Structure 1
């Protein structure tokens, strides 16, 4: 089967100006100049972890660089009937590249996307207010982002649609029954799906969500050839490096990572975006 890669046209003038303003507002370069090989591996930061009690969400584990500095905060949510631990691989890898990442447990394993959206936002609020433990003083509260898998991915897109102050969102194999909040989303959103996903098929979920997000919002849809619904639990590629690159580009405003968001990967069955970013 031929692999089809489609990139939409250039961003409008208004979006370009918005992107430039956003980049100028929080342009941070944490770490050395990136290479594809480097972002497919653990990053340059040694990390540590800290438990956080739930306050509007189940509980969480925070992963963060041991080095002093201010880092963007990312909350990541698991899928339906799935534990916090399923997101640990992606969370740890992202933290090694210069982020504070909280992997959450949901209030119940059966919470639907709208509840997971609320819990992601609650986790950001709780963690950004911490002033004890290893995370104290390491969060730039002006740069907060969300991510998640399956129903956690649906919750990610709902949280982004409801919270324009967020700086980035990444949804892995997202599942949801509604696109209402996605239609008003202003937060740069990347969606990653798999051709062999029979639980949240690309046609039934990811593609619909991508299409619903306004064309004035930076967005990306990468579809991995042969990937099933559980690919995000393995922190495999190109999932992990796309996640890192999106967060670097929009949570840090680091344009050095733009080159890794062009769909040039043989593992992809298809790629759509309104870049370049």
Structure 2
């Protein structure tokens, strides 16, 4: 049931890469810059080129001819190019901890408008050392300061309809200490997001609770929606936020099973009540966005348990009309980077404008929001994003508290949000790898499956 990653119509014209390559080659010739003459700029003369020839991994590749390794091979005639969606990333393993002082990005014509440069000691927890929302393309030389074994460029907004494409990703610095190494006494507490999520297993993902202890907090004076309860990890660190939205005539109890499950895997979750029980999906979408705004505000304020807990990334999940609201939010509000519509109900049949990763859950015997006219149609209409589709046994209530197989539903929802809100590739195997196959092939557990793997 796997669908093709992108339809032929979404692929670039056959001559685009050659045309852009020719343009870059001409520009390179005019500037008299060749690989042999590329060195660290004068202000970083003491630094070494650390990334060339080192192992590289990417979130995706446009095709077999544009692998991650092509961006660190020292050849400005080869390139890495991602699939056509946000976010995307390219990571290089420097082999040992290094002080990073400069990064050079040699973009092809498909460049990043908004991106970050991040470092990590373990390729799981990342520290941002540079960020922009106004990337210029071409050759960008970025003076930075950070330490880590792994360095990545993490793109959140493309400048073109294509993916991200780099002729070279060059990391300069030194190994074995300064310059650029922060003092070990510079901070008295772990940096935001430092809490380590342990390696996931089938057993741990199917358990009711994840590895982190959680607390709850009632939103004071909710703005733009009726009520909200925040469930959050009590451990030190900051995490992505997720808004939960119930369906028609529903309340927070609809998805009360999901809030602590997600929070215990490293998310700050606000479970909401709607202004009225009859609110339509568009009204619910506005309430999702209002709840997201207030969650960020609570994190930015002092004197509450959520202070400093949200890292600025948002996701959304909703049931029925809340699922329709999820789709509308992903289409209309770029702050929300991933979403999971659960048995989604909406009158429109197309969400082709959605570019954020989307996981649609449907129920086999749903007569209120049949997959054949809603959920699967919404999934098929999307051509610009990473996407996943599963159908479970049961009626319209199958994703709600007290219904359906929560071990399986929880495993895939946690894995999806971990992969796309935290960029944690350790969860990919449960979505696209061997760990999923036993469930996908068992129709008593999952009655339909589609995806845009690999991701």
- What is residue 285 of structure 2 aligned with on the other side? 117
Contact 1:22 1:253 in 2 (8 A): no
Contact 2:230 2:269 in 1 (8 A): yes
- What is residue 88 of structure 2 aligned with on the other side? 20
- More contact order relative to length (CA 8 Å, sep ≥ 6): 1
Aligned pair count reads: 268
- What is residue 3 of structure 1 aligned with on the other side? none
Q: Distance in 2 between matches of 1:119 and 1:127?
A: 12
Q: Distance in 2 between matches of 1:275 and 1:19?
A: 15
Equivalent of residue 184 in structure 1, options 335, 350, 353: 353
Give the TM-score of the pair, scaled to structure 1. Answer: 0.91
Range 244-253 or range 158-167, more displaced: 158-167
When residues 106 and 18 of structure 1 are mapped into structure 2, their CA distance, relative to the original with a 3 A threshold, is closer
- What is residue 371 of structure 2 aligned with on the other side? 202
- What is residue 156 of structure 1 aligned with on the other side? 326
Q: Distance in 2 between matches of 1:138 and 1:84?
A: 21
- What is residue 37 of structure 2 aligned with on the other side? none
- What is residue 338 of structure 2 aligned with on the other side? 168
- What is residue 101 of structure 1 aligned with on the other side? 269
Name the SS of the counterpart of 1:98 in structure 2: coil
Contact 1:164 1:186 in 2 (8 A): no
Segments of structure 2 that go 5 or more residues without pairing to the other structure are 12-61, 63-81, 92-114, 126-195
Contact 2:296 2:310 in 1 (8 A): yes
Q: How far does residue 22 in structure 1 lie from its aligned partner after superposition?
A: 8.5
| Cα deviation code 1:215-264 (max 9, x no counterpart) | 2200111111x221112223713211111011000000001101111352
2:403 counterpart of 1:245 = no
- What is residue 386 of structure 2 aligned with on the other side? 218
Q: Which has the higher strand share?
A: 2
2:314 counterpart of 1:144 = yes
Structure 1 residue runs of 4 or more that deviate by more than 6 Å after TM superposition: none
When residues 118 and 28 of structure 1 are mapped into structure 2, their CA distance, relative to the original with a 3 A threshold, is farther
Range 193-202 or range 64-73, more displaced: 193-202
Q: How far does residue 19 in structure 1 lie from its aligned partner after superposition?
A: 4.6
Name the SS of the counterpart of 2:83 in structure 1: helix
- What is residue 38 of structure 1 aligned with on the other side? 204
Q: Distance in 2 between matches of 1:105 and 1:189?
A: 23
Segments of structure 1 that go 5 or more residues without pairing to the other structure are 1-5
Q: Distance in 2 between matches of 1:246 and 1:18?
A: 15
Equivalent of residue 87 in structure 1, options 255, 271, 282: 255
Q: Distance in 2 between matches of 1:81 and 1:51?
A: 21
- What is residue 238 of structure 2 aligned with on the other side? 70
Q: Which has the larger radius of gyration?
A: 2
